[in-house]
């Protein structure tokens, strides 16, 4: 099982050549992974990007992480925002600059440049800036320096001189043994006139912020990394109250460990359908069915059972509020309060519209890390996805599921499909190909009585039952029974069933 | 032309203003680089030719007084600050363009009037 994944990961691993370039860890989530250890040490790195692309925040996180995580003081010189405004802006992200300034670990200065006030006559140098940088670096014994941003300097000054002066500045920074990040707006004029990033810097990142389907996606691309291998892909990233998180490529993740340990579904009959076993630990399970078919009950039973077994469980509710889930499950005898009190079950609740999928996945990821969850429920995933699953969202989900697999976290996803959308189940199939186990719930009205049926569409590595069972919910919980013969012989049922089967493409 | 200019300044200084107008400059340089030396040479010669010794020029090496770079918000060098007459004004470079320097010192415009 999953042989193809293992071999492909090994192939990329063997194909990767390790460079011995000294690097400076950024501490920014995901960035050190995609750069194989950070930005080049004691050399300048340029971050280019449009307005609001996240350049300043990325640079500031590099400085603050240096102080907090690596005990490397830093200098942050800004030509743009007022230093006070900057302090407030990054304080909102939980970076307390004032504390670091007071402890003499951070030197923050705004260099005011007004080209109208001051006139240039003839040749000049940037020695004033260099002297001030020198003072700042010596004051806090800085190892990290940020200049934010270059454009203010370029505007109005004679380009030829600025260019050669920057070359000198970069050389001086190298001599000073500091790792520098320089930010620059992305403008045609900048790119074409200077080619500064190409000639002078050893490492260049490009940040973009594109809006697609009313959802803005930030992306980072490594344009250049002299002396180090790097991926040329674009990596999505988000900025939230905890700073920047970049999603590394799937192919660069370490080998996935495959477990043969079994975790019970929490419902005896479902375990029976799965070869009397249940799910593999670290596998992904999809429960799919129309609205009101009982998917949440299946998910809650699984969550209750796993948290009872002291596997920390994170229940991500996108439809019902946690209190609602708890109350509703009480009516079928699942006392979720009990496991919440013992800290084995945690809830993540957010209205799907509040954030886009990426932000949800990041928030969930952070929560998983915080509580050390080994079981995750996403109920329902369809709510946080758009109607049409596009490649962006698909790859995001694949990455997320891969991440859970790597961490040996078992994930149960519920997805809503309505009877009318049975023919349009691309999105559902899109998810089902990502998961290991797929359980379908269907509804039929026979003789004016509503019936629910459950069957296991697939379960990788488990000899699952291929039969449909009747699925009923009562105050005692879920009841799964073999189909009654009289139902089978009823008009319409068989034809309906076969139609549905075609639609789902049951595996042979 | 330079003579005219001189005469004009003299007239201006003696005539309209009872007090003699004295220019006060601070010139910030760094070390003894070519640009620094050129800037001092160029600016001194402009002052001598045009200001009839009615000026006071202080030369400050930023390497010796680095704190001045912060207090005066210096980024580019050489930097000239005209302290008097008011308003204070700044220019930077090696002052190789005499005409532009005179414009900056508001000398040609006075002449044209």
Kindly tell me if the per-residue pLDDT of A351 is higher than 60: yes
Residues of B in contact with A126 (CB under 8 A): 75-77
Please, which pLDDT band fits residue B109 given cuts at 50, 70 and 90?
very low
Q: What's the pTM?
A: 0.63
Right CATH number for B2-12+23-112 from 3.40.50.150, 3.40.50.300, 3.40.30.10, 3.40.640.10? 3.40.30.10
Tens digit of pLDDT for each residue in A58-98? 999 999 999 999 999 999 998 875 666 676 677 766 677 88
Q: Residue A80's domain is classified under what CATH number?
A: 3.40.50.300
CB within 8 A of A395, min separation 6: which ones?
none
Here the tokens at position A183 are 């930010």
Kindly tell me if the per-residue pLDDT of A420 is higher than 70: no
pLDDT at residue A303, rounded to an integer: 92
Report the distance separating Cα A188 and Cα A177, nearest Å.
32
Tens digit of pLDDT for each residue in A474-483? 877 788 888 7
Decide if A21 is inside a domain: yes
Kindly tell me if the per-residue pLDDT of A191 is higher than 70: no
Residues of A in contact with B33 (CB under 8 A): 125, 127
Question: Do the Cβ atoms of B33 and A125 come within 8 Å?
Answer: yes
Q: Do A246 and A295 lie in a common domain?
A: no
How many CB pairs below 8 Å do chains A and B form together?
91
What are the C-alpha distances in Å from B68 to residues A134, B4, B13, B61, B65? 13, 38, 32, 9, 6
pLDDT at residue A384, rounded to an integer: 58
Decide if A2 is inside a domain: no
pLDDT at residue A313, rounded to an integer: 93
**What is the mean pLDDT of the segment spanning A439-462?**
83
> Which of B28, B62, B95 is facing A121, going by the closest CB pair?
B95
Q: Do A140 and A196 lie in a common domain?
A: yes
**What is the mean pLDDT of the segment spanning A234-261?**
72
pLDDT at residue A163, rounded to an integer: 80
Report the distance separating Cα A290 and Cα A415, nearest Å.
8
pLDDT at residue A66, rounded to an integer: 93
pLDDT at residue A134, rounded to an integer: 93
pLDDT at residue A501, rounded to an integer: 41
Q: By the 8 A CB rule, do A401 and A434 touch?
A: yes
The proportion of chain A whose per-residue pLDDT surpasses 90, expressed as a percent, equals 18
In sequence order, what DSSP letters do the residues of A304-317 get, joined into one string? HHHHHTT--EEEEE
> Which of B42, B66, B101 is facing A131, going by the closest CB pair?
B66
> Which of A103, A198, A171 lies closest to A141 in space, CA to CA?
A103
In sequence order, what DSSP letters do the residues of A448-499 get, joined into one string? TEEEEEEEEEEETTS----S-EEEEEETTEEEEEEPPHHHHTSTTHHHHHHH
Question: Do the Cβ atoms of A134 and B97 come within 8 Å?
Answer: no
According to DSSP, the residues that pair with B26 across neighbouring strands are: B58, B81
Decide if A292 is inside a domain: yes
Q: Do A248 and A269 lie in a common domain?
A: no
Decide if A5 is inside a domain: no
CB within 8 A of B113, min separation 6: which ones?
none
Q: Do A231 and A274 lie in a common domain?
A: no
> Which of A124, A131, A134 is facing B78, going by the closest CB pair?
A124
Please, which pLDDT band fits residue A165 given cuts at 50, 70 and 90?
confident
Kindly tell me if the per-residue pLDDT of A426 is higher than 70: no
Report the distance separating Cα A375 and Cα B69, nearest Å.
59
Q: Do A195 and A148 lie in a common domain?
A: yes
Q: Do A240 and A285 lie in a common domain?
A: no
Burial (CB count <10 Å: 0-12, 13-18, 19+), residue B4: exposed
Residues of A in contact with B104 (CB under 8 A): 119, 121
Report the distance separating Cα A73 and Cα A102, nearest Å.
12
Kindly tell me if the per-residue pLDDT of A319 is higher than 90: no
Mean pLDDT of chain A: 78
Q: Do A183 and A277 lie in a common domain?
A: no
Report the distance separating Cα A199 and Cα A482, nearest Å.
72
Interface of B with A in 11-30 (CB under 8 A): 28, 30
Better-scored residue on pLDDT, A310 or B109: A310
Kindly tell me if the per-residue pLDDT of B77 is higher than 70: yes
Q: Please tell me which residue of chain A has the smallest CA distance to B28.
A: A128
Separation in Å, CA of B45 to nearest CA in chain A: 15
Interchain CB contact of B65 with A (< 8 Å): no
Tens digit of pLDDT for each residue in B22-73? 889 999 998 888 889 998 989 888 888 887 778 888 999 998 888 888 888 8
Question: Do the Cβ atoms of A125 and B93 come within 8 Å?
Answer: no
Better-scored residue on pLDDT, B25 or A494: B25
With a threshold of 0.95, tell me whether the complex ipTM lies above it.
Answer: no
| Most confident range, picked from A96-100, A120-124, A241-245, B26-30 | B26-30
**What is the mean pLDDT of the segment spanning A188-213?**
68
- Of A252, A277, A298, the residue at which a domain comes to its end is A252
Range of the domain at A417: 262-503
Q: Do A345 and A415 lie in a common domain?
A: yes
Question: Do the Cβ atoms of B75 and A119 come within 8 Å?
Answer: no
CB within 8 A of B61, min separation 6: which ones?
B29, B30, B31
**What is the mean pLDDT of the segment spanning A253-279?**
82
> Which of B33, B73, B92 is facing A112, going by the closest CB pair?
B73
Here the tokens at position A140 are 């806090």
Residues of A in contact with B66 (CB under 8 A): 131-132, 134-135
State whether the Cα torsion A117-A159-A56-A97 is positive or negative. Answer: negative
Residues of A in contact with B101 (CB under 8 A): 121
According to DSSP, the residues that pair with A454 across neighbouring strands are: A441, A469
CA A106-A109-A113 angle, 5° bins: 160
Please, which pLDDT band fits residue A444 given cuts at 50, 70 and 90?
confident
pLDDT at residue A8, rounded to an integer: 36
Separation in Å, CA of B15 to nearest CA in chain A: 30
Mean pLDDT of chain B: 78
Domain count, chain A: 2
Separation in Å, CA of A257 to nearest CA in chain B: 56
- Of A226, A252, A278, the residue at which a domain comes to its end is A252
Decide if A7 is inside a domain: no
Q: Do A184 and A273 lie in a common domain?
A: no
Kindly tell me if the per-residue pLDDT of A508 is higher than 80: no
Tens digit of pLDDT for each residue in A368-415? 988 999 999 988 877 655 544 555 666 677 778 888 888 889 999 888
Kindly tell me if the per-residue pLDDT of A125 is higher than 70: yes
> Which of A111, A112, A127 is facing B62, going by the closest CB pair?
A127
Decide if A428 is inside a domain: yes
Decide if A383 is inside a domain: yes
Here the tokens at position A28 are 């920014």
Separation in Å, CA of A48 to nearest CA in chain B: 22
Please, which pLDDT band fits residue A10 given cuts at 50, 70 and 90?
very low
**What is the mean pLDDT of the segment spanning B4-32?**
67
Question: Do the Cβ atoms of B75 and A132 come within 8 Å?
Answer: yes
Burial (CB count <10 Å: 0-12, 13-18, 19+), residue A249: middle
Please, which pLDDT band fits residue B18 given cuts at 50, 70 and 90?
very low
Kindly tell me if the per-residue pLDDT of A285 is higher than 80: yes
For A186-332, list the strands marked E by DSSP. 203-212, 215-225, 234-240, 243-246, 262-263, 279-280, 284-289, 313-317
The proportion of chain A whose per-residue pLDDT surpasses 70, expressed as a percent, equals 76
């Amino acid at each position: 099982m999953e042989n193809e994944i293992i071999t492909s990961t090994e192939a990329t691993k063997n194909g990767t050549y390790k460079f011995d370039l000294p690097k400076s860890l950024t501490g920014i989530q995901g960035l050190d992974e995609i750069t194989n250890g950070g930005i080049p040490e004691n050399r300048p790195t340029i971050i280019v990007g449009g307005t609001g692309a996240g350049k300043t925040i990325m640079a500031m996180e590099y400085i603050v992480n240096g102080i907090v995580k690596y005990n490397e003081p830093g200098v942050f010189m800004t030509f743009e925002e007022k230093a006070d405004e900057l302090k407030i802006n990054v304080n909102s992200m939980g970076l307390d600059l004032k504390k670091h300034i007071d402890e003499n670990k951070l030197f923050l200065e705004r260099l005011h440049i007004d080209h109208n006030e001051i006139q240039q006559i003839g040749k000049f140098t940037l020695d004033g800036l260099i002297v001030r940088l020198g003072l700042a670096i010596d004051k806090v014994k800085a190892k990290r320096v940020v200049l934010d941003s270059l454009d203010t300097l370029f505007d109005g000054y004679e380009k030829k001189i600025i260019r050669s002066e920057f070359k000198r500045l970069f050389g001086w920074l190298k001599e000073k043994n500091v790792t520098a990040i320089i930010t620059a707006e992305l403008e045609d004029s900048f790119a074409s006139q200077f080619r500064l990033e190409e000639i002078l810097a050893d490492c260049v990142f490009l940040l973009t912020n594109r809006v697609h389907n009313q959802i803005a996606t930030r992306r980072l691309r490594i344009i250049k990394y002299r002396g180090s291998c790097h991926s040329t892909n674009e990596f999505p990233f988000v900025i939230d109250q905890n700073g920047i998180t970049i999603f590394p490529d799937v192919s660069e993740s370490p080998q996935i460990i495959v477990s043969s340990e079994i975790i019970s579904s929490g419902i005896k009959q479902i375990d029976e359908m799965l070869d009397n076993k249940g799910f593999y630990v670290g596998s992904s399970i999809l429960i799919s069915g129309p609205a009101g078919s009982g998917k949440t009950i299946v998910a809650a039973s699984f969550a209750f059972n796993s948290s009872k077994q002291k596997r920390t469980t994170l229940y991500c509710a996108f439809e019902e509020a946690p209190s609602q889930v708890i109350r509703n499950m009480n009516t079928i005898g699942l006392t979720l309060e009990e496991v919440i009190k013992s800290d084995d079950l945690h809830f993540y609740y957010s209205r799907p519209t509040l954030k886009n999928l990426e932000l949800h996945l990041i928030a969930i990821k952070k929560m998983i890390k915080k509580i050390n969850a080994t079981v995750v429920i996403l109920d329902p995933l369809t709510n946080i996805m758009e109607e049409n699953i596009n490649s962006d969202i698909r790859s995001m989900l694949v990455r997320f599921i891969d991440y859970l697999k790597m961490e040996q976290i078992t994930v149960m996803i519920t997805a809503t499909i309505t009877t009318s959308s049975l023919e349009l189940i691309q999105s559902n199939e899109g998810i089902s190909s990502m998961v290991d186990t797929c359980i379908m719930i269907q509804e039929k009205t026979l003789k004016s009585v509503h019936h629910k049926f459950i069957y296991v569409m697939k379960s990788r590595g488990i000899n699952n039952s291929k039969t449909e069972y009747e699925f009923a919910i009562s105050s005692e919980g879920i009841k799964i029974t073999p189909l009654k013969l009289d139902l089978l012989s009823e008009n319409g049922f068989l034809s309906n069933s076969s139609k549905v089967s075609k639609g789902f493409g049951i595996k042979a | 032309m330079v003579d005219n200019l001189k005469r004009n300044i003299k007239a201006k200084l003696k005539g309209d203003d009872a007090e003699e107008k004295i220019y006060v400059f601070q010139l910030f340089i760094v070390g003894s680089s070519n640009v620094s030396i050129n800037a001092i040479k160029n600016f001194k010669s402009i002052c001598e030719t045009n200001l009839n010794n009615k000026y006071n020029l202080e030369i400050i090496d930023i390497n010796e007084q680095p704190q001045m770079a912060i207090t005066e918000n210096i980024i580019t060098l050489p930097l000239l600050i005209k302290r008097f007459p008011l308003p204070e004004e700044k220019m930077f470079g090696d002052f190789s363009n005499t005409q532009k320097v005179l414009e900056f010192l508001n000398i040609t415009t006075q002449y044209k009037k």
